[in-house]
Structure 1
Amino acid sequence: MTIWVNEQIDPTGILQACIACKNEAVAKDCHEQWKQKLAMDKTTIGWEAKIRTVDSWDDVPVNALKISF
């Protein structure tokens, strides 16, 4: 099973937001929206949007919003 993990990381390297789901298309769409929002908002200078995959829900950060579709 592949789980897609979207993360927003602040300039200090702290994970501030995380959404995880099994649907690749939804995950990639979410990632693109996050990148666009971070690029347009001056208060998010230095923030980073990352996307990665994991093989188990156990590997998803505990504070993530976990979407099961």
Structure 2
Amino acid sequence: MVIWVNEQIDPSGILYSCIACCDEEMAQECHQSFQERLTEQQRADGWVARLRTVESWDEVPANALKLD
């Protein structure tokens, strides 16, 4: 099983928001949305939108919105 994890991380490395799902297309759309919603100031300050995969729900951050 592949689980797609979208994360927005603030400049200090703290996870700000996270959405996880098993649908790659939905994950890609979510990632694009995360990217587009970062302002230029947030980007300059070091905010990051990251998309990664994991193999188990146990590897998904506990505070994530989990869509299955």
**TM-score scaled by length of structure 1:** 0.89
Gaps of 5+ in 1: none
**CA distance in 2 between partners of 1:18 and 1:37 (Å):** 14
Helix, strand or coil: the match of 1:13?
coil
- 1:1-69 to structure 2, matched below 5 A, reads 1-38=1-38, 40=39, 42=41, 44=42, 45-68=45-68
**CA distance in 2 between partners of 1:66 and 1:25 (Å):** 15
Gaps of 5+ in 2: none
**TM-score scaled by length of structure 2:** 0.91
Ranges of 4+ aligned residues in structure 1 off by more than 2 Å: none
Percent of paired sites with the same residue: 56
Aligned residues: 66
User: RMSD of the TM alignment (CA)?
Assistant: 1.0
